[in-house]
Structure 1
Amino acid sequence: MDFAPFDRRGYPTLAVREGYGEWAASYDGVVQDVMDIRLLERLRERDWTAAGTVLDLACGTGRIGAWLRGRGAGRAGIERLDGLDFTPEMLARAAARGVYDALFAGDVRDTGLPAGSYDLVLQVLAEEHLPDLAPLYRETFRLARPGGAFLLVGYHPHFLMSGIPTHFDRPDGQSMTIESHVHLTSDHVKAAQAAGWRLEAMDEGLVDQDWLAVKPKWRAFLHHPVSYLLLWRKAV
């Protein structure tokens, strides 16, 4: 579904590449760990952090890659960590972190990378920008090795449907929305199952007191779901 019917703020909307190109400079100071990393840290299923080869899709500034190296998969002796994004400004910042073995410019729906190359493919806070989920799930399934996993952390559709889009502020203070789409949980299940994935774990992140400590203006959304995690497994 298009986000427009739910929009309560009416910010000007930018295309995805343009929007993230502008946001790259301030992104790390805006996105909070309670949105995504908190969900990753409490995931225990089958010790997913032991994955040897990892692909960070829509890697952005390399924020998640740095976490993987420092506190997640890095502890398990990750063999290779690659990143892919289609925004040059984001890739430049990811490269500057020095945590990836290789970085690729490309589209998450058609990466051009070799099939069966990764034990773990993950994507964090990007799926709401895709008009259709099916190509993402097909491509991640193609990229994963037998027994491999696809780990997705996203911006909760409930929050989008509450009228709050993915947005950022320009240096002059003007708020800008990045083109977004609402995907229900059933949309994910249908697209994933059609591609061959099997659901292994799911979690949701709520606005709680930790959230209010960093975003006190969100008190009206206390106890509302703001993010979610889906862990999919490919059969051996």
Structure 2
Amino acid sequence: MVQFSDFDSRNYPTVDVRSGYAQWVDSYEQTVEDTMDLAVLDRLATPDWTEVRRAADLGCGTGRTGAWLRGRAAPGLVLDGVDLTPEMLAAAKAKGAHDSLTEADVADTGLPEGGYDLAVSSLIDEHLADLGPLYREAWRLVRPGGRFVLVGLHPYFIMAAGMPTHFTGATGEDIAITTHVHLVSDHLSAGLAAGWTLTEMSEAVVDDTWIALKPKWEKYRSHPVSAAYVWRKQA
């Protein structure tokens, strides 16, 4: 198993996921670039978002992904969000994209089995020590013929940059949130073991758009930075 500690070049003080996102919540949306995840979702050929009638947003955070999905789905979408951090759920509630919000682990959501056309997860997999429980819970939630879409940091970028998920604390200190490296093969193995069929994968690289946002990333030009996986539960 690949350990992030083998690549960590920052050595920031590290906090757990719930504590970290509770502290980050006020500046989160000013920090995370849409190019990292929402732009990748935009480029996917599948699923047809307009056909999604009920969706589960796993690790919904401040509601960014939910708002994005709400803007693309047909009217009447029922969208249920789950997150571990109460402060993030409060931000998502204020955004108003979700029909329900639940404080729970993404591996044990308590949401209804087979109740969803789509499960979606964005920028959370690097915080999971094991991908298997997430893929199995998404499988439980999605109806036959439904999809699971996961987008996250590319493992190559985490390793090449040696950079954990991090934020600037109240005192101006950089603080890391527990980060794990999951190879592409780890995603494939976990998804296939849970019963999913991979129907699409997309990898984004550091390009001109990224360099305009983060000029210091010029040294990473053309390096993979994020990836999306589209899985289907066979009918």
Q: Same fold (TM over 0.5)?
A: yes
In the alignment, structure 1 segments of 5+ residues that lack a partner are none
Q: For 1:49-103, what per-residue CA distance to the aligned partner results, in whole angstroms no more than 9, with x for missing partners?
A: 4211011100000011111112x22xx2342011100101100000001111111
User: Which residue of structure 2 lines up, in the alignment, with residue 182 of structure 1?
Assistant: 181
CA distance, structure 2, for counterparts of residue 79 and residue 25 of structure 1: 28
Counterpart of 1:223, as a letter, is: S
What SS is found at the alignment partner of 2:139? helix
Asked whether the equivalents of residues 51 and 78 of structure 1 are also in contact (C-alpha less than 8 Å), the reply is no
User: Which residue of structure 1 lines up, in the alignment, with residue 141 of structure 2?
Assistant: 143
CA distance, structure 2, for counterparts of residue 191 and residue 235 of structure 1: 16
RMSD: 1.0
Which has the larger displacement, 12-21 or 37-46? 37-46
In the alignment, structure 2 segments of 5+ residues that lack a partner are none
Counterpart of 2:171, as a letter, is: D
User: Which residue of structure 1 lines up, in the alignment, with residue 42 of structure 2?
Assistant: 41
* Greater than 2 Å deviation, 4+ residue runs: 76-79
**Counterpart selection for 1:157 from 136, 155, 158:** 155
Quick check: 1:21 aligned with 2:22?
yes
Quick check: 1:211 aligned with 2:210?
yes
Asked whether the equivalents of residues 50 and 77 of structure 1 are also in contact (C-alpha less than 8 Å), the reply is no
Asked whether the equivalents of residues 50 and 78 of structure 1 are also in contact (C-alpha less than 8 Å), the reply is no
User: Which residue of structure 1 lines up, in the alignment, with residue 61 of structure 2?
Assistant: 60
Q: How does 1:83-98 map to 2 (within 5 A)?
A: 83-98=81-96
Counterpart of 2:153, as a letter, is: Y
Specify whether residues 46 and 15 from structure 1 end up closer, same or farther in structure 2 by C-alpha distance, changes over 3 A only.
closer
Asked whether the equivalents of residues 123 and 152 of structure 1 are also in contact (C-alpha less than 8 Å), the reply is yes
Counterpart of 2:4, as a letter, is: F
Counterpart of 1:164, as a letter, is: M
What SS is found at the alignment partner of 1:119? strand
Specify whether residues 220 and 189 from structure 1 end up closer, same or farther in structure 2 by C-alpha distance, changes over 3 A only.
same
User: Which residue of structure 1 lines up, in the alignment, with residue 129 of structure 2?
Assistant: 131
Asked whether the equivalents of residues 122 and 152 of structure 2 are also in contact (C-alpha less than 8 Å), the reply is yes
CA distance, structure 2, for counterparts of residue 113 and residue 82 of structure 1: 8
TM-score normalised by the chain length of structure 2: 0.96
What SS is found at the alignment partner of 1:45? coil
TM-score normalised by the chain length of structure 1: 0.96
Which has the larger displacement, 46-55 or 121-130? 46-55
CA distance, structure 2, for counterparts of residue 78 and residue 197 of structure 1: 27
CA distance, structure 1, for counterparts of residue 4 and residue 19 of structure 2: 18
Q: For 1:185-225, what per-residue CA distance to the aligned partner results, in whole angstroms no more than 9, with x for missing partners?
A: 11111111111000010001111110011111111111111
CA distance, structure 1, for counterparts of residue 234 and residue 105 of structure 2: 25
Specify whether residues 49 and 185 from structure 1 end up closer, same or farther in structure 2 by C-alpha distance, changes over 3 A only.
farther
